[in-house]
Structure 1
C-alpha cells in the first residue's frame, strides 16, 4: 500500500471512530443550544437521563434493531422546553426542524446505542433520532423517515 492510501485509510478510520473515542474520553457528543445558553452533553450525561429502548425494523438496516436512548420528550423536559420547534443537525450539516408538540411519550428517542453498542459515524451515530416504526402506521410516513436523522450532534431550540 502506498503512503497516500495508508494516510487516507488512517484518516477514514479515525473519522469513523471519533464519536466512540469521544464517548470513552468524556467529550461532548451533543451540543444543545437554548435561548439563554449552550450546553454540551457527554454520553454519560445522556445515559443518566431516563432510558427508553425498543426493537424495530428500519428502512436503512437489515432485520430488527434494538435501540436504546432517551425519549425526545424527556430530553426536552430536561431543558424545560415545552413549545416552539427544535432544529436537529447532523455532522454533515443535514438539518430538520420539528415542532416540539410532535414529540410524544411513545414516539422518537435520541438513540445512543444500537444492538447494544454505542454508534460511530460509520454506524449512523453518535446519535440517531429513531421512531418505533413497527408500532404504528403513523411512524411509517415520508415525514417520519425524513425526520429520522442520524449522525446527530446538534440540537437548537427555535421559536
Structure 2
C-alpha cells in the first residue's frame, strides 16, 4: 500500500522538476550568453544558453547612468543580472564573468541585487555591436560623481559571453 502511494508521488514530483527545467526553453537565435556552475535550471547539458529574445523576456529595464568609460549620461537597456541568475536558479556565492577575449573577473553574487546591475544589450536605443562593447556589457547604475571614482570598473565587463556561478 505504501509503495502504491509513493510511485504516483515520485512521478508527480519528477514531472514538476522536468517542467521547471523546461521553462527556460532552448535558444532559437544566436547564443549571446551561457551560464554554468551552481545552477539548477539548464537547457543544454550543464549550461543555460540565452539568445537575445530569451534575455529580453527577463526583467528588462532601461536606465540612464554614467560610466568612467563614456562621456556624459548614457541610456542603456537590458535584463537585470539578478533576473538572469534567478532564471537559472543560481545557488552560489561567487560569479565569474568572462568576455569574448577571455578577460575574466570574479565578484560576489550578492552584488547583482545590491547594485541593480544591468546586462546592457542596447545603448542609446540600439542593440550594441561587438565594437561598441556589445553584445552585452555589465553596467552598474552610477551617478556622475560615483562614476568619476570608478568603483566597479573591473566588474563592468564588456563583450560578456559567459558567466560561471561557484560556491
TM-score scaled to structure 2, two decimals? 0.72
Deviation (angstroms), 1:61: 1.5
Three-state SS of the structure 1 residue aligned to 2:143 is helix
Which of these residues, 93, 103, 106, is aligned with residue 84 of structure 1? 93
Kept after mapping to 1: 8 A contact 2:36/2:48: yes
In structure 2, stretches of 5+ residues that fail to align are 1-27, 40-45
Q: Which has the higher helix share?
A: 1
Matched, 1:94 2:103: yes
Match of 1:54 in 2: 63
Aligned to 1:65: 74
State how far apart, in whole Å, the 2-side matches of 1:49 and 1:135 are: 28
1:143 to partner: Cα distance = 4.5
Deviation at 1:118, TM superposition (A): 0.8
Aligned residues: 134
Counterparts of 1:6-45 in structure 2 under 5 Å?
26-35=29-38, 37-45=46-54
1:151 alignment partner, one of 136, 149, 159? 159
In structure 1, runs of 5+ residues without a counterpart are: 1-24
The answer to whether the Cα contact below 8 Å between 2:38 and 2:90 also exists between their aligned partners in 1 is no
Q: Please report the TM-score for the alignment, with normalisation by the length of structure 1.
A: 0.76
Match of 2:113 in 1: 104
> Are residues 92 and 43 of structure 1, via their aligned partners in 2, closer, same or farther at CA, if it must alter by over 3 Å?
same
Larger radius of gyration: 2
CA contact (8 A) 2:67 2:144 kept: no
CA shift in 2, pair 1:84/1:71, >3 Å: same
In 1, are the aligned partners of 2:38 and 2:92 still within 8 Å (CA)? no
Is contact 2:48-2:88 (8 Å) kept?
no
CA RMSD of superposed structures (Å): 2.0
CA apart distance, 1:141: 4.6
2:43 aligns with none
Structure with greater proportional strand content: 1
